[in-house]
Structure 1
Amino acid sequence: MTPTSSASAKPLRVAVIGGGIGGLTLGLALRAHGLRATIYEQAAELAEIGAAVALSANATRELDRLGLGPALAAVSTEPTELIYRDGRSGARIAAHPVRKGGAYRARFGAPYYGVHRADLQKVLSGALAGEDLHLGHRLTALDQRGDAMALTFANGAEVEADLVIGGDGVRSEVRRWITGGETVRYSGTSAFRGVVPMGLLPSLPDPEAIQFWMGPDAHLLHYAIGRQADSVNFFAVVEGPERWTSERWLAGIAPGEHRAGFSGWHPAVIEMLDALPQTQRWGLFVTDPLRRWHRGRAVLMGDSAHAMLPHHGQGANTTIEDAVTLAELLAAGGARDLDGMMRRYQALRQTRTRTIQRSAWATNRLLHLPDAVGPSGLAQRDARMARFPEDFGWIHAFDTRVTVLEGAAGDSRAA
C-alpha cells in the first residue's frame, strides 16, 4: 500500500527532518505498513549524541512489533531493580524489582532496557538498511507552496514534500516555522554525564540496578548498559547555574567543578564522577507546552514538540510513541486528509506528553530536597519513591497502537 495525497493520485511525499531515534523509528513504522518516507539528517554520519538510553515498556513493545526485539535484546542490559538511595549514606530508601522474578515484564508486558545510544541507532538504521536516509542535510528553510512544502538544506539541496514531519530536536527548525518562535527554555539545572567501565567502580552496590542517588540540590542516576552489563551510564544533575549563557548545550567547567554539588556523598558517586575526565556540563532545556503542533503541511514529533527533563527517562520513549502514532494514522487513511490526521495526532499525544513533562519537573524537586525540609519532608519523599509503580505505572503501561485504535473507534461513534 502506498499513501496518496488528496490532491492527486501521486504517492504522498513524506519528508522526515531528523535521523535520530524518532526519525528512524518512523521510517520503520511506515515501512511496516507499506508506506514510505524520506529522512533527512543534518549529521554526516549517525554518530552518538548523548551516552545511553533507558527504554521502558511503552517503547520496547513497539520496537518488538517492528521486529527489532531480538536485535535490541542482544545489545541491552535489563536492570535487576529500580533503587532509590540516600546520596550521602548510600542507604536504600526504596527498591522495586525489574528483571528480578520477571516482575517488570509481568506487570507491563514488555522489557525495560539500558542501551548505548549508538547501539540503538545501529539497530534502527540497520533495519532501515539505509533506505531513503540522506545524511549531511541540515534544514535551513521551509516554505509552503500551495499544498506542498519546499525544503532548503545547507548543502544546497532543494526538495518538495506533501508532508513534513519535524523530528529535529529541541532547537527545531520545523518548530520555528510552525510556532514563529523558539519556545525553548533553560530549566535552571545542568548535568555531568559519562559511560564508565564497571571495573572502575569497586564501591558501587547493586551494579546492574538502575539507581537514583538523592540529596540536596543534586541527584545521580545510573544504569548498566551493553550485552554483558560491562559499563555504567551515569547522569549527574545539579541545580544551576542560574543562567545559561552559552549558545550551545555544552559549557566548559573549571577543574573539579563537577564535584561541587556532591561534596560528602557516597564513595560510589565520587568514583563515578571522577572515573572519566569532566571538562563540560550539559544544560538541560525543555520546550514550553505548545498550543499547536502543526501548521500547513508540517507537524512535530519528539523533542521538537515536547522536550522534557530526563527524570522519568521518557524523552526517547515518548518520541517512539509519537512515531508509531503518526505511522498508524497515516496508514489508516490519514494521507487522504492530512489536516484531520494532524489534528487527531495532536489530540492523541498532547495531554500525555504534557503530563509527563510536568511530572518530570515535580520529580526534580523531590530528588533535590534540601535538608531544611526536615525528617517529615524526607519521609514524605521516601514514601513517594516507595509508591513509584503505583504512581507512575501509567507511563510504562501505555500501548500506543491500542490508543490509536481506541481514538479511531471514538471518532467513528462521534460521527
Structure 2
Amino acid sequence: MGSTQKIAIVGAGLGGAAAATLLQQAGFDVDVYEQAPEFSRLGAGIHMGPNIMKIFRRMGIEKQLDLMGSHPEHWFSRCGETGDYLSRIPLTGYGASYITVHRGDLHALQMSTLKPGTLHFNKRLETLEETDTQVRLTFADGEVTYADIVIGADGINSKIREELLGVEKPLYSGWVAHRALIRGDQLAKYDLTFEDCIKWWTEDRHMMVYYTTGKRDEYYYVTGVPHPEWDFQGAFVDSSREEMFDAFKGCHPTVQALIESTDSVTKWPLRNRNPLPLWSRGRLVLLGDACHPMKPHMAQGAGMAIEDAAMLTRCLQETGISDYRTAFQLYEANRKERASRVQAVSNANTWLRTQEDPDWVYGYDLYAQPLKSGAAA
C-alpha cells in the first residue's frame, strides 16, 4: 500500500480508536479527528466480552485490560422484587476473558496504542467535499485536510452519516438510563451480597450492576426506565437518589442499598435509529453508533463498533485503499447481519433474562471467519 494514501477517522471513541490502531498496525497512514478538547475519566462502566478481547489481543492490550478489569464468572439475572434467580449464564470458556471495566480506563489504554501525533483534538467537522480523487475535510477551527477515504466513527449524531443520508434526528426510545458509580467501601456497611455482574429485572425496567476495576473498589449501575418524553437539552441531566427510589419502589433490599449508597446519579436519554439503507457511499464509510446505534441493554454496543473496526481493517488489507469500493462492500457483507441481529436483540431488552446460550455472541472470533463475497452488499 502506498504511504501517500491517507485514511481520516472522524471520532476517537472506542470504535474509532480501535480502527485507528488496527489500521496503523496494518501499515496504513491514519489520522484521527476528535471534536472534544480532551478525554476525561467519565463515570461509566462497560462490558468487554471474549469476542472483543480477542480483538484486543491483536492490538496488544489484552493482558493489560485483563489486569485492569473485573472478571465476573457469571451474568446473573434476578427478579427485582423477590431476588429469585431468573438465569445464571456462565461467562467463561470462550477462549478469552469476559471483563467489566471503567470506560475511561479502557479508552485511555486504547489511546496509548495510537501512533504519536495522529490524534487531533478540538476538530469539529464542518464540511466534507468528495472529489474523484480524495475527500476534503474542513473543521470548525479553520483547518482543512485531505484523505483518500473517511471513516465515520462519530456516534449517533454522525456528521458523516448526515452527509450520506441527510439530516435526521435520532429517535427517542421512550427510555432513560440512570448511571452512577459507588465506592466499594460504601457497600461494606450492608449485610448483603453484591455480585460481580447482575441485572435486576422488573416488568418494565431494570438495573445492571457490576464492578469496574480488578480491585473491586468501584461498583457501577446503569438502568433502563420508561420515561415518556425527553424534554431536556444535552446528553444527560442530573438525577437524584429520590428519583431512583421512586423508579425502583418496592424492589429488593440490595437494589435499595445501591440507591442509598449513591452519591450522585445522572440520567441519559436512550436514542437509536432504524437500520440504515447503506453503510458507505463513495469514499465515506460508517462504523459503530454512526451506523447501527442500539440501546445498551445487551452490553455490546461498543463491542459491535470494535468488531466493525476489525472487520473494516481486514477488508482494506484484502483490497488496499485504491479499491476502497470493494473493501466497503466486503465490510458491509461481513458485518450487517451480525450487527443488525445484535441491534434488534439489544433494543428488545431480552438478552440473558432467561437461561440461554450466548455462544453466538461471546464465542464469535472475527479473525476465524472467512470473508463473504461483497457482491450482494
Alignment TM-score > 0.5, same fold: yes
Which residue, 201, 217, 239 being the options, matches 1:214?
201
Partner residue in 1 for 2:362: 396
Partner residue in 2 for 1:63: 56
Q: Which of 54-63 and 328-337 deviates more?
A: 328-337
Partner residue in 1 for 2:87: 94
Q: What's the Cα RMSD here?
A: 2.1
Q: Secondary structure at the match of 2:334?
A: helix
Partner residue in 2 for 1:51: 44
Q: In the aligned structure 2, how far is the partner of 1:40 from the partner of 1:124? A: 15
Partner residue in 1 for 2:371: 406
C-alpha contact 1:289 1:354 (8 A) present in aligned 2:
yes
C-alpha contact 2:13 2:107 (8 A) present in aligned 1:
yes
1:148-297 equivalent positions in 2, closer than 5 A: 148-182=134-168, 184-202=170-188, 203=190, 205-240=192-227, 242-253=228-239, 256-278=242-264, 280-297=266-283
C-alpha contact 2:154 2:290 (8 A) present in aligned 1:
yes
Residue deviations 1:307-346 (CA, integer Å, cap 9, x gap):
1011110011111101111111111224121111111111
- Residue 254 of structure 1 and its aligned partner are, at CA, apart by 7.0
C-alpha contact 2:326 2:374 (8 A) present in aligned 1:
no
Residue deviations 1:331-369 (CA, integer Å, cap 9, x gap):
122412111111111111111111111111222xx58xx
Which residue, 15, 18, 28 being the options, matches 1:22?
15
- Residue 252 of structure 1 and its aligned partner are, at CA, apart by 4.6
Q: Secondary structure at the match of 1:38?
A: strand
- Residue 162 of structure 1 and its aligned partner are, at CA, apart by 1.0
Partner residue in 2 for 1:387: 355
Q: In the aligned structure 1, how far is the partner of 2:69 from the partner of 2:191? A: 20
C-alpha contact 2:182 2:263 (8 A) present in aligned 1:
no
- Residue 139 of structure 1 and its aligned partner are, at CA, apart by 1.0
Q: In the aligned structure 2, how far is the partner of 1:238 from the partner of 1:92? A: 21
Q: Secondary structure at the match of 2:347?
A: helix
Kindly tell me: are residues 411 and 217 of structure 1, through their superposed partners in 2, closer, same or farther at Cα, counting changes over 3 Å? closer
1:355-394 equivalent positions in 2, closer than 5 A: 355-363=341-349, 366=350, 385-388=353-356, 390=357, 392-394=358-360
Kindly tell me: are residues 130 and 48 of structure 1, through their superposed partners in 2, closer, same or farther at Cα, counting changes over 3 Å? farther
Q: Secondary structure at the match of 2:54?
A: helix
Kindly tell me: are residues 361 and 231 of structure 1, through their superposed partners in 2, closer, same or farther at Cα, counting changes over 3 Å? same
Give TM-score scaled by structure 1 length: 0.85
Alignment length (residue pairs): 375
Q: Secondary structure at the match of 1:406?
A: coil
Q: In the aligned structure 1, how far is the partner of 2:277 from the partner of 2:87? A: 38
Q: In the aligned structure 2, how far is the partner of 1:25 from the partner of 1:53? A: 15
Residue deviations 1:146-201 (CA, integer Å, cap 9, x gap):
22111111111111111000001111111111111335211110011111112212
C-alpha contact 1:213 1:219 (8 A) present in aligned 2:
yes
- Residue 276 of structure 1 and its aligned partner are, at CA, apart by 2.7
The answer to whether the aligner puts 1:302 opposite 2:288 as a matched pair is yes
Kindly tell me: are residues 116 and 297 of structure 1, through their superposed partners in 2, closer, same or farther at Cα, counting changes over 3 Å? same
Residue deviations 1:196-249 (CA, integer Å, cap 9, x gap):
112212448553421010113211001111121221111021111x12222322
Q: In the aligned structure 2, how far is the partner of 1:11 from the partner of 1:201? A: 56
Unaligned runs of 5+ in 1: 5-9, 99-103, 368-383
- Residue 82 of structure 1 and its aligned partner are, at CA, apart by 1.1
